[in-house]
Structure 1
Amino acid sequence: MKVTKFAKVLSGVMISTMVLAGCGGSGDKASDKKDDVKLTESGFPIVEEEVSFKMMGPNVGLAEWKDMPVFQEYAKKTGINFEFTTPPVADFSTKLNLALASGDLPDVIYAAGNSNLTDTMVIEYGEQGTFVALEDLIDENMPNFSKILKENDTIRRSITTPDGHIYTLPSLAMNEPTAVWPRGPMWYRGDWLEALNVTELPKTTDEFYDLLVRMRDEDPNGNGQKDEIPLTDVKMESTRPWLMAAFGLTNFGVQEQDGKVIYAPTTENYKGYLEFMNKLYSEKLLDQEVFSQADEQKKAKGQKNQIGLFPDWFSYFTTGKEEKDALNDPMFQPLTSEYSKETVVPISAGISRGTFAITKEAASPEALLRWIDYFYGDEGAFYINKGPEGALWEWAENSEGEKVRVYTENVDLANVEDTRGTITPAYGLTVPNIDYKNTEDLYIRGNADDEMDTTFTDFINSETEEKITANGQLPMPLLYLSKDEIDQIKDTQTDLSTYIEQMEAKFITGVEPLSNWDKYVDTVNSMGLEKYLEIYQKALDNYNKQ
């Protein structure tokens, strides 16, 4: 049965009204209620009389936001309460789109992230006036965030849309060394290196190849069987950034090179990467199931002691060993090659957009900006991550008379994170804040006299500084394209991404011979690559002019 456009719209409005009941849009307009919200001069409380707003965000399912101590205690501190609409993470994108399309709006969209509140949506609904432009309100109402913008102009440029407005606030990874990771790193299995008497990691692609051959042939797992897999991954998603970097490339798509936007998968450097990976695959140095296995299969091989180099957030996630054993698993040393004599690796900008937006329904954007600004300071960043005193942690006195933080009695020390997920929304979601500093005064102990063991953290930070930070290069600034530009290239972007992923697998496995490279490049060019690069170049030029 054919459904008319009008019926679809009407149905959407009716559904969103039922699903998002209480989320906003009815009763007095924001302009009518604005005079009712009286702000204090500064600090806490934020408002002279208690006020309630409506917030929408994704729920990971461990607790309702209204029951979370973070919101309950912060409401007492600020005088600002919320009525929450929190669909499950899996449904959030659909529910958010319904709310925006129907006009049945919350006052605040929280922790949506760029995957749900996309650049296109931010620009479209910002230009329509659905989202409040925040740039003129920040200095007066957000001292913490204003300080950050003054110290780092990259952040302001990264969150400013082409029409000159700031419609959403970001999550900022500023204090944790691992924030530079674009993905989980690669890790060598340390006991294999010891078995092979390897005292220095490979630094060139030739040395790397030689080590993989030794892993394949010299029985480093010591079981007498030829079952070693030197290198593994799932569809090259995590190893690709680190190995492409050996060929001077930092992104599987557009990247900046001396102020010019290039498309990495059509360069001679990328061809060199494919030739190298095809060599590894053909000689069974690269897992023969790399393009077909799931992460669970990769981990199963790791727990059977079958793989020598693999990607993961931490090595013990794959090996199944204990955290202390992972201290012997060194991070992958970036490589050089004939294509790139300089050691380089891609790094993350540490900025996640779309984590906080205020809609036109809000009676006082100023109050909401003061509310969120707390989380852009160290105290508030710790609060949103670890919760208030008495929930996840409490103060205790150790035998030396020092006050230290310890976990409360209700916390399962073997599974702290699940408890934390009932206390704060900053669990499995990208929330608007800065990373709290990983310093001794923020450490939480099992009991007051526990020694603070930062051995593993120190190891991770040291490896990150030496292997990644010291060689890091941002592939491309965090750009905004205009709605018109996004419309022009969205089909091209989808087609390019699909094609180059398919062809990477074919070239590496030998299904497609590299003698067809020129044909491949011609196909990519025929997909509208020239216009695609032109639009990104314009966006980059505009970014650099800000």
Structure 2
Amino acid sequence: MRKLLAILQIFVLMAAMALPTAFAAEAPIMLAGLEAASSSSSTEAQHDWDTNLFFQTMQEKTGIAFSFTEYVSREAWTEAKTEMLAGEVAMPDMFFKAELTPQETLAFYEAGKLIDLRPYLAEYAPHVWALLEANPEWMEAVSLPDGAIVALPSINELTPNNTMWINKTWLDRLKMGVPTTAEELTEVLRQFRDRDMNQNGSRNDEIPLSFVSMWDLRFLAHAFGINADDYYLTEQNGKISEVLTTEENRVFLTWLHELYTEGLLDSQGFMAMRLVEAATSSSSSSSSETAKYGVFFGATPQDVVGVNLASEYIALDPLLYNGQQVYRDFTGDLYRGTFAISSTCAEPEKLLQWVDYLYTDEGFLAAQVGREGEDYDWNDDGTWAYARTAEEVVAMQGTNTIWTTSMPSYASAEIQMKMDDDATHALAAELMRVRQWEKRAMPLLYLTQEQMNRVTELQSGISTYAETRMAWFVAGDVELNDETWADFCAQVKALGIDEMVSIWQSAYDNAWRLDK
């Protein structure tokens, strides 16, 4: 499983340029960043930067050596950034795996501690610049309100989403097609409920639709015209609006209640025990296990049902609403704040040339897979494959490679599909197929720290109330009628949803955009 998830983070840039000639050896450059611990209970970094072969390979290619300040604890790294911003700790030359929040990026830049990279990119980071120019939404996402590009992103064209997965084996047994509407899905779930779909002699162990909390269920709202983020907001033609108090949300919740009443939703979906089961279910992969879920949500089917049962499931296309298909893009292609250069750096051009290599196929494979000819090889048909056993691949991920989500990089769908592995191809094909309908509910924007503090305060009250009350509506603990709906809307308003909209609308209006 670990190998498969790692594989899903690979890329290529077809017009990749060669890395510039190695720079002359000189004094080490100060580099600081976060390398998360290898597990939640560990105090050891997932990768030791001082000994990791990736940095050795890069030094051989460029002549650039680093003096590392590597943080394992996210709390310690956050504290260090706060001290750097306050001038209590010296700035490094370069932030790497920086996990800079939008607020930190703004604050460091406004304090003159991080430089604007935009003037350098076209000449010294041509791969980065080409990607941004070819994808306006990425360009806008990394640009501060004044147009400065202070931090470079991690980009992955196959970042797993909270995808809907349906048991195709069960559909085939029923001789039913893949559902395309909420009505068709309802009928499929009824069949899953009433039959011994896993053919184990019992009709009581199948769960037509499994979910973990109201958060999962809200990914079905697209079937009723709703595509909203975790703040319950959506952007349409430059206007930010909330979806909680809309008639579409009421109709959606009414439908969910009907599913729940009919026994089509997991009866334990709102229980804390389901969270534990969801976190551990994929650990069981014995050949004797049988499928019990008809539909569920997850990044991959392996995450939920394990490797042995994953092949029974396909990604469910977004359900139609007024003839259109749109599905919430929860993660997006782009993860901001991974790389930045300090104003104390004497030669930012060299560091941009260094990092630009990671936005090429060769550079990213070096970070993700290892050394060509040692850790992986290219096949005659244009695919690539590991040159090591599965056990060796797992072992070398801590010593030979450096890749994590927070690393400056570009992972194209094309290079991921070039992995010589049938399971990878099948999964990537499913993700690519549904990717065409995925859309971010809100663009990536920049809030000030003051705005973010207020948003966090508002969200705490709104989310706690809304998630609980909507779950009650679905489960029937509170009847959904005109009176209770009016009370729900009034309380959401009282908790500040309109102020939330106003804050994000202001951020949208102030954002840098190509069409301004």
Q: Alpha-carbon deviation of 1:437? A: 5.4
* Other structure's SS at 2:190 match: helix
Match of 2:472 in 1: 506
Deviations 1:340-393 (A, max 9, x none): 442221235411100112223323222211111111222222222222235533
Within the alignment, does 1:232 sit opposite 2:210 as a pair? yes
| Matched-pair contact (CA < 8 Å) for 2:127–2:356 | yes
Match for 2:247 among 268, 274, 278?
268
Within the alignment, does 1:492 sit opposite 2:492 as a pair? no
Moved more, 69-78 or 378-387: 378-387
Q: Alpha-carbon deviation of 1:80? A: 0.9
| Matched-pair contact (CA < 8 Å) for 1:55–1:82 | yes
Map 1:333-344 → 2, pairs under 5 A: 333-336=317-320, 340-344=322-326
Distance in 1 of aligned mates of 2:349 and 2:314: 48
Deviations 1:403-457 (A, max 9, x none): 986544xx44146244223222214x321111155449964xxxxxxxx444x34
Distance in 1 of aligned mates of 2:218 and 2:193: 21
| Matched-pair contact (CA < 8 Å) for 2:417–2:428 | no
Q: Alpha-carbon deviation of 1:531? A: 2.6
Match of 1:245 in 2: 222
Match of 1:384 in 2: 367
Map 1:450-529 → 2, pairs under 5 A: 452-454=420-422, 456-469=423-436, 471-515=437-481, 516-529=484-497
Match of 1:310 in 2: 296
Distance in 1 of aligned mates of 2:248 and 2:254: 10
AA of the residue aligned to 1:481? L
Q: Alpha-carbon deviation of 1:64? A: 0.7
Match of 2:267 in 1: 288
Match of 2:11 in 1: none
* Gap change, CA 1:404 and 1:459, over 3 Å in 2: closer
| Matched-pair contact (CA < 8 Å) for 1:186–1:239 | no
| Matched-pair contact (CA < 8 Å) for 2:152–2:408 | yes
Q: Alpha-carbon deviation of 1:194? A: 3.0
AA of the residue aligned to 1:47? F
AA of the residue aligned to 2:242? Y
| Matched-pair contact (CA < 8 Å) for 1:231–1:310 | yes
Q: Across the two proteins, how many residue pairs are aligned to each other?
A: 474
Match of 1:297 in 2: 277
Within the alignment, does 1:329 sit opposite 2:313 as a pair? yes
Match for 1:211 among 188, 198, 220?
188
Q: Alpha-carbon deviation of 1:159? A: 0.9
Map 1:67-466 → 2, pairs under 5 A: 67-91=51-75, 92-101=77-86, 102-113=88-99, 117-173=100-156, 176=157, 178-179=158-159, 181=160, 183-198=161-176, 200-225=177-202, 226-241=204-219, 243-252=220-229, 253-292=232-271, 293-298=273-278, 300=281, 305-322=291-308, 326-336=310-320, 340-347=322-329, 349-389=332-372, 392-393=375-376, 407-408=386-387, 411-414=388-391, 416-427=393-404, 429-436=405-412, 438-439=414-415, 443=419, 452-454=420-422, 456-466=423-433
Distance in 1 of aligned mates of 2:56 and 2:274: 41
| Matched-pair contact (CA < 8 Å) for 1:212–1:285 | yes
Structure 2 residue runs of 5 or longer lacking an equivalent are 1-17, 38-44
Distance in 2 of aligned mates of 1:479 and 1:440: 29
| Matched-pair contact (CA < 8 Å) for 1:111–1:430 | yes
Q: Which has the higher contact order (CA 8 A, sep 6+)?
A: 2
| Matched-pair contact (CA < 8 Å) for 2:116–2:148 | yes
Deviations 1:504-542 (A, max 9, x none): 322222223323121111111122222321232233234
Q: Alpha-carbon deviation of 1:187? A: 1.4
Q: Alpha-carbon deviation of 1:286? A: 0.9
Match of 1:34 in 2: none
* Gap change, CA 1:437 and 1:222, over 3 Å in 2: closer
* Gap change, CA 1:314 and 1:532, over 3 Å in 2: closer
* Gap change, CA 1:290 and 1:418, over 3 Å in 2: farther
Match of 1:3 in 2: none
| Matched-pair contact (CA < 8 Å) for 2:19–2:357 | no
AA of the residue aligned to 1:151? A
Match for 2:30 among 54, 57, 70?
54
| Matched-pair contact (CA < 8 Å) for 1:349–1:477 | no
Distance in 2 of aligned mates of 1:533 and 1:441: 40
Supply the RMSD in Å over aligned alpha carbons: 2.9
Q: Alpha-carbon deviation of 1:246? A: 0.6
Deviations 1:52-102 (A, max 9, x none): 112222224343111111101101211111121222255443444444443
* Other structure's SS at 2:104 match: helix
* Gap change, CA 1:489 and 1:283, over 3 Å in 2: same
Distance in 1 of aligned mates of 2:382 and 2:259: 55
AA of the residue aligned to 1:93? T
Structure 1 residue runs of 5 or longer lacking an equivalent are 1-41, 444-451
* Gap change, CA 1:342 and 1:327, over 3 Å in 2: same
| Matched-pair contact (CA < 8 Å) for 2:30–2:92 | yes
Q: Alpha-carbon deviation of 1:296? A: 4.5
* Gap change, CA 1:355 and 1:71, over 3 Å in 2: same
Distance in 2 of aligned mates of 1:441 and 1:265: 39
Moved more, 68-77 or 341-350: 341-350
Q: Percent identity?
A: 29
Q: Alpha-carbon deviation of 1:476? A: 1.8
| Matched-pair contact (CA < 8 Å) for 1:392–1:420 | no
Distance in 1 of aligned mates of 2:495 and 2:383: 60
